[in-house]
Structure 1
Amino acid sequence: MTSENASPGTPPAHPLHAESERHASWLELFFDLIAVAGVAQLAHLLHGTPGAADLGLYCLLYLAFWTAWMCFTTYGNVAADKVHTRAVLIGMFGLAVMAAAVPGVRTEHARAFALAYVLVRVLASRVWQSRGEVVADWPLAQLSVGVVPWIVSLWAEAPARYWLWAAGLAVDLGFTFALSRTRVLARAQEEWRKHAAAGRGRAHPRPAAARFDARHLDERLGLFTLIVIGESVALTVEASSEADWTSRLGSLAVGSFVLLLALWALAVRRTCGVPLLGFGVLAPRFALPLHCLTTGALGALAASLGGAVEHVGGHLPVGMRWLMCGSVAVFLAVGVVAGVASGRGRRWALGAGAPMVVAPVLLGAFAGRGAPAALVWALVVVARWPWVYDRLASRRDGRSVAPE
């Protein structure tokens, strides 16, 4: 991740990461739109008054979508203009099938979802075989062992199938974080030597570490976050268009838009799609999970904002209130972690970070009697607190701050 726009003291990008002026291609943008269409479908799983089971299923399916998307995003980032367009298009179709299966994923479409996911992951793994590269910074892009529980789930019923899906994702993530970059590359080279000694490895080059285009990866992550925010606006607009236009609805609609703008300012402006994360601060294996949490929280927030329109004249159900406040709390908690990693000190963590995580939790616990619009505007204040804190700190220390 590039350090071109990083503040003083920000560590440089990973030394093995290539950097260029390349931007996201039309094919990559198309792929992102298909993936976000799945996120929009997932938001409907949280419609009404979501319970713990609904939230758990949303998190599970979102992680599957994001993982499949990231596998091809990693491939496109490294392969650049040598990417196999046909493979990307097939992967795109697989994501479209997964998105179409979401409404019926609890019943007859669960097997279609699982099968599409397996095919996408296997295809994403195979595209690396001819390149002779190892994605040591994000091994999940090449792993396929995690699809075994998904294959078994084709013959399982709920809820066993969901536990198998979770186990498959846990295996992939476990390998990704348990194996260091050096160990991943060493294991791939050792396997190549064994195949070569047996006469089976001559057709493939000696494995080398894949070189990320850091600037391009930053752009892809930011674009994905931006599109998810756009989908959140679209879901709120859709819900508002079917409701009676009253002053309460107007206040809720404006507050929802301002809240999404505040989150956009934290996650996209001068960042790589993760709130308050500076460029070049974290290696991909740490930055990418933060991006998954960020965009997953935004998808859940979109569902709660759309649902709030249905209760604009009364009070939000407990589950919906916690969904709204919890998703904002998760988003801002990621911002606290990213801000600290980007060099913000302990004073900032206590003065800015702690309030913007604790406040949404308190609102979720004690704002049950308030109107939905009032809750949304309270969350706007919380989301803008880091900006207010920086302004107050700059005046106290006599520093200048870049204009918003």
Structure 2
Amino acid sequence: MAHESLPDNRIRRWYQPMRARDRDEPHRASTPLELLFDLCFVVAVGQAATQLHHAWGEGHIGHGVLSFAMVFFAIWWGWLNFSWFASAFDTDDVPYRVATLVQIAGGLTVAAGVDRAFEGNYDVVVAGYVLLRLAAVVQWLRAARQSPETRRTAYFYAVGITIVQVLWIARLALPESLGLTSFVVLVLAELSVPVLAERRAGTAWHPHHIAERYGLFTLIVLGETVLSATNAVKEGLASGEHTGDLVSLAAAGLVLVFSMWWLYFDQPGHARLVRGNSLRTSMSWGYGHYLIFGSAAAVGAGLELAVDFDSHHTELGGVATALAVTVPVAVFLLSVWLLHIGPGNECRPIAIGFPVVAVLILAASFGPAPIHVTAALAAVLVVVTVAATHGEREPG
């Protein structure tokens, strides 16, 4: 009997109808293909953080932050759209895998163009971005043909995405004076496509799966931050000078990243999605992670700058160097607070604790040992959170 079913299994591996998955499907977990997709995209995250470090270290703070924000949008938006589509239409056959390969190639092309983007030339980034987005259009067209219940929504996605990609290409011909304005307009256009499409007939994304996908990417970005800081400390120690300061800084950085991990995962992400169960909740939660992912990546660049400062390899002042860490940490805490905790959370210590600690961390920028104080404050917030929620944690 096993031999008789083998040809059918082989056919299903080569080609399967793309049907909407069950929103309440039990044990819905990330696939190996999704994990590979994440790892390839984090290459682009690392490149963006590296260029932010260089720009900030050279004193080009405004330009560096703006370039980082623009490049990071391309990375984040490509990852986000793949993840939500895969949560609703994960058809693991050969055409689906090939389309995903093209999206990965687009993401790696974006990574290859990060250096040029920080110099003001976005041609390679746009080429990679358009490639990965048009591969997503192919997936939506396939869903439109094979999933009747979401046909109108899928066609809207396909048409909307295609129009915006044409505009991204056209933007390359605009004068530099219109660069930022046109970027903001097209970002708003990109963000509007899912909002308008999902109002027609929502796709069957899975709350637990989406929360896991976001959590995994948060882990990868934090891991990239640890790697960047470790390499910077390693280079500093190679000189044989400032060893004590660098070891102390490495310990503070480790405590800081560990605290960020703890605070993000302390509250289950899917709980907010399930409780809200609305388009507004899912969009605000999903879009809001731009700040979480971006700030977590920026912390790595900031820690590298702190290493440069302690080893006297930068001309930046202490406050400017400290702000490269404290600002993204504060943004991270406030974003986690808004998306996972909520200002109206009945547990007042953590509802109040997150914004208070964020303000104290920003103030630490102007005092002695700002990185160590930031790490200590983040650790204190962890202690407060654990104490305040003891015995009240929701089952995972």
After TM superposition, the score normalised by the length of structure 2 is 0.79
Counterpart amino acid of 2:42? V
Name the residue aligned to 2:191: 173
Q: Which digits, 9 at most, give the CA deviation of each residue in 1:10-61, with x for residues without a partner?
A: xxxxxx8333313222211111011111011001222214411210111111
Structure 2 distance, partners of 1:91, 1:302, is 26
Counterpart amino acid of 1:381? A
Counterpart amino acid of 1:76? A
SS at match of 1:211: coil
Name the residue aligned to 2:307: 309
1:335 offset after TM fit, Å?
Answer: 2.2
CA 1:281–1:55 in 2, change beyond 3 Å: closer, same or farther?
farther
Counterpart amino acid of 1:337? L
SS at match of 2:63: helix
Name the residue aligned to 1:380: 375
Name the residue aligned to 1:41: 47
Name the residue aligned to 1:360: 361
5+ long unaligned stretches in structure 1? 1-15, 186-207
Name the residue aligned to 1:328: 329
Aligned 1:215-234 pairs, distance under 5 A? 215-234=208-227
Counterpart amino acid of 1:160? L
Name the residue aligned to 1:68: 78
Name the residue aligned to 1:213: 206
Q: Which digits, 9 at most, give the CA deviation of each residue in 1:297-330, with x for residues without a partner?
A: 0011110001111111568544332221110110
Contact 1:236 1:253 survives alignment (8 Å): yes
Counterpart amino acid of 2:384? Y
Structure 2 distance, partners of 1:229, 1:387, is 17
Name the residue aligned to 2:33: 27
Contact 1:64 1:169 survives alignment (8 Å): no
Name the residue aligned to 1:151: 169
Which structure has greater helix proportion? 2
Aligned 1:335-346 pairs, distance under 5 A? 335-341=336-342, 344-345=345-346
| Structure of higher RCO (CA pairs closer than 8 Å, 6+ residues apart) | 1
For residue 105 of structure 2, the aligned residue among 93, 113, 117 is 93
Aligned residue-pair number: 348
1:242 offset after TM fit, Å?
Answer: 0.9
Structure 2 distance, partners of 1:391, 1:106, is 41
Structure 1 distance, partners of 2:152, 2:248, is 48
Is residue 2:137 matched to residue 1:125? yes
SS at match of 1:143: helix
1:115 offset after TM fit, Å?
Answer: 1.9
110-119 or 322-331, larger mean C-alpha shift:
110-119
5+ long unaligned stretches in structure 2? 1-21, 145-149
SS at match of 2:28: coil
Counterpart amino acid of 1:149? L
Name the Cα RMSD after superposition: 2.9
Structure 2 distance, partners of 1:37, 1:170, is 26
CA 1:326–1:248 in 2, change beyond 3 Å: closer, same or farther?
same
